Chain A
């Protein structure tokens, strides 16, 4: 299975909004509403910030939102803050009953 495609890097100024895309196929992203997003700070374990395409776990800021259109899922961070600087990964269930991660996106706060 091939990794889902994400932009290598995205940047924005404090207070701005940014969007990270995650492109797959009809056999993964496009076929199921089982897309999740993770935030990972250097040296730390990933943290779940979005599940089932657009749902936030308890305690996750409402500045994070998710959506999906066809084979592409998106994560939007609004009101960008310095603490949002991290790596972000999408993940999807696949038709093979497996899971696949995205290539990862480094978010830089200018």
Chain B
């Protein structure tokens, strides 16, 4: 059973960079899937942040594109998210997930809460 686990700081200061890593286990990241980051502010809905293929092709939400970088490290079976110049509006539970092309995300991490506060 494929397992995804998010890791990273739970508290980030305003204007700094949020950095998260998703470790994939019981399966290879070097496969014909896409690897997504999705977030959910407390009490609010889901927002797709972006995705990467194992070869490093990336796609980003236009509203976040100027601040987001998603990268993949196949040697570690991990992919990462960097979001710079964060504000309180970036406070959310961040999920990583595997997506089967356009056909939806079938495996998700448990999510990690990142709070932006001084």
Q: Which residues of A contact B (CB under 8 A)?
A: 1, 3, 32, 34, 36, 38, 40, 45-48, 50-52, 55, 57, 89, 91, 93, 96-104
- Report B84-118 CB contacts with A as 1/0, cut-off 8 Å: 00000000000100001111111011110000000
Instruction: Take A98-B62, A101-B48 as given contacts and tell me if A45 and B103 are in contact as well, using a CB distance cutoff of 8 Å.
Output: no
Residues of A close to B51: CB separation below 8 A: 99
CB <8 Å contact, B103 and A89? no
- Cβ of B46 within 8 Å of any chain A Cβ, yes or no, is yes
Within 8 Å of chain A (Cβ to Cβ): is B60? Answer: yes
- Name the distance in Å between A21's Cβ and chain B's nearest Cβ: 15
The reply to whether the CB of B55 lies closer than 8 angstroms to some CB of chain A is no
Residues of B contacting A3 in the complex (Cβ-Cβ under 8 angstroms)? 45
For residue B47, which residues in chain A have a CB less than 8 angstroms away from its CB? 101
